[in-house]
């Protein structure tokens, strides 16, 4: 992946907010949507954009789709550097912090379930 393609993924506010949340770990679309307080189609399209370009992965978990950044060992040096940079910068800006705060208030069942490869009713019940 070329450097400029990374920046193209980062040059939209919604995508920045999504990636900032995904830096915390895998998340299903409904949580991303709830944390960002944006319409479903908007979230879905930007996730699609990121996915085509390889910045995120997704897998189905029952009714839910879990999105995640690629595993660390598969991240190029440039990607690692830029994700770290983004995380640092976002950590100091209110908008991004608010997203994280909202995320933490949600019932985060889906993330642990996803991590455990689990069963359960999962996610948003």
Q: Measured from the CB of residue 46, what is the shortest distance to DNA in angstroms?
A: 6
Between strands 27-28 and 64-68, the pairing is antiparallel
Q: Measured from the CB of residue 43, what is the shortest distance to DNA in angstroms?
A: 7
| 40 C-beta neighbours (distance < 10 Å), count | 11
Residue 7 has phi, psi (to 5 degrees) of: -65, -35
Query: Which of DNA, a second copy, none is residue 124 near (CB under 5 to 8 Å by kind)?
Result: DNA
Asked if 59 touches DNA (CB under 7 A), the answer is no
Of 23 and 65, nearer to DNA (C-beta) is 65
Residues in touch with a second copy (CB under 8 A): 3-4, 7-8, 10-13, 16, 77-78, 81-82, 85-86, 88-90, 92-93
Query: Which of DNA, a second copy, none is residue 56 near (CB under 5 to 8 Å by kind)?
Result: none
- 92 vs 20, 33, 87, 95, CA distance in Å? 12, 22, 9, 9
Helix-then-strand count for the chain, H and E = 7, 3
Cα 81 to chain centroid distance, Å, stands at 17
Stretch that binds DNA, among 18-26, 61-69, 76-84, 93-101 (CB under 7 A): 61-69
């Amino acid at each position: 992946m070329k450097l400029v393609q990374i920046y193209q993924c980062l040059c939209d506010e919604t995508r920045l907010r999504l990636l900032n949340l995904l830096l915390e770990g895998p998340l299903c679309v409904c949580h991303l949507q709830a944390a960002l307080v944006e319409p479903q189609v908007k979230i879905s399209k930007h996730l699609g954009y990121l996915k085509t370009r390889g910045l995120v992965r997704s897998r189905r978990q029952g009714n839910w789709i879990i999105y995640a950044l690629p595993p660390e060992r598969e991240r190029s040096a440039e990607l690692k550097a830029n994700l770290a940079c983004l995380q640092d910068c976002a950590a100091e800006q209110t908008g991004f912090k608010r997203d994280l705060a909202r995320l933490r208030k949600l019932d985060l069942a889906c993330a642990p379930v996803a991590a455990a490869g689990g069963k359960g009713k999962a996610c948003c019940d």
